[in-house]
Amino acid sequence: MEFRRLRSVVAITGLTEELYRTRKLEVIAGDENLETIHKEHGCTFKVDLRRAFFSPRLAYERQRVARKVRRHETVINMFAGVGCFSIVIAKAEPTARIFSIDINPYAYEYMCENIILNGTDNVIPLLGDAADLMPLFEGRADRVLMPLPERAAAFLRFAADALKEQGVVHYYTVAFANSSSPLFKRPIEEVNKVLSDREVKIEEKRVVRSVGPRKYHVVLDLLVRS
């Protein structure tokens, strides 16, 4: 069997690196260069899979969030990677301004290139740690995205503080399914603990994808009022 469009065969050989969210990849056959182009929802994303996080499995989730953004919103993407969520939003709602943060310099470089490729100059790329940059946006955002499920709870207060008197946080986290505890019980408890001084309404909750045995990547769309 011949696969004419197949360039490389790659195996994941290690766990995801925590800070930059990159994975150890071994080329089993084909081209060692893992820079590639991915297209979805009329957007084009350039990425090197060794140097930056990327998942095509989040395509629906990116479009779902983009459809919720209203005219002239100020949006902050705290963990933007190569800019996928930010650019899909920018295409769907050109009047929005999206501040797009990432700590990985390689991801930041690809994000800047992807902004040019897609003509989305309403995306403002920022290189740095979200913990350092988010205080600069206190009280300025209508919507905050947190697509870093492994460390979500540690950054939730930064997201809430960046909102205006009322705004939305898309809170991504990891949840476990078992017979003794409902799937969303722990994520909801995390939110209530961190934001005990805020009025919080869950507008939507959903499973984004399975990431292991009884382990799920989930999202809570939170309407937060001060």
pLDDT value for 1? 37
Region for residue 97 given its phi and psi (left: phi exceeds 0; alpha: psi -120 to 50; beta: otherwise): beta
Q: What is the largest CA-CA distance in the chain?
A: 60
Q: Which domain holds residue 106?
A: 55-225
pLDDT value for 49? 87
**Banded pLDDT at 29 (limits 50, 70, 90):** very low
Q: Is residue 40 part of a domain?
A: no
pLDDT tens, residue by residue, 43-81: 999 999 888 989 899 999 999 999 999 999 999 999 999
Q: Is residue 79 part of a domain?
A: yes
Query: Any idea what the CATH number is for the domain that residue 119 is in?
Result: 3.40.50.150
pLDDT value for 24? 56
- Structurally, how many domains does the chain consist of? 1
3-class secondary structure per residue, 165-211? EEEEEEEEEEEECECCECCCHHHHHHHHHHCCCCEEEEEEEEEEEEE
Average pLDDT over residues 94-111: 97
Q: Is residue 98 part of a domain?
A: yes
Q: Is residue 26 part of a domain?
A: no
Average pLDDT over residues 186-206: 97
pLDDT value for 160? 98
Output the pTM of the full model. Answer: 0.89
Q: Is residue 174 part of a domain?
A: yes
Q: Is residue 31 part of a domain?
A: no
Q: Is residue 47 part of a domain?
A: no
- Checking DSSP bridges between strand 74-77 and strand 141-146, what pairing results, if any? parallel
Report the C-alpha gap between 37 and 50 in whole angstroms: 14
Q: Is residue 29 part of a domain?
A: no
pLDDT tens, residue by residue, 131-157: 999 999 999 999 999 999 988 899 999
Residues facing 182 on adjacent strands: none
In Å, how far are 77, 85, 95, 133, 206 from 21, measured between CA atoms? Answer: 16, 16, 30, 19, 23
pLDDT value for 3? 42
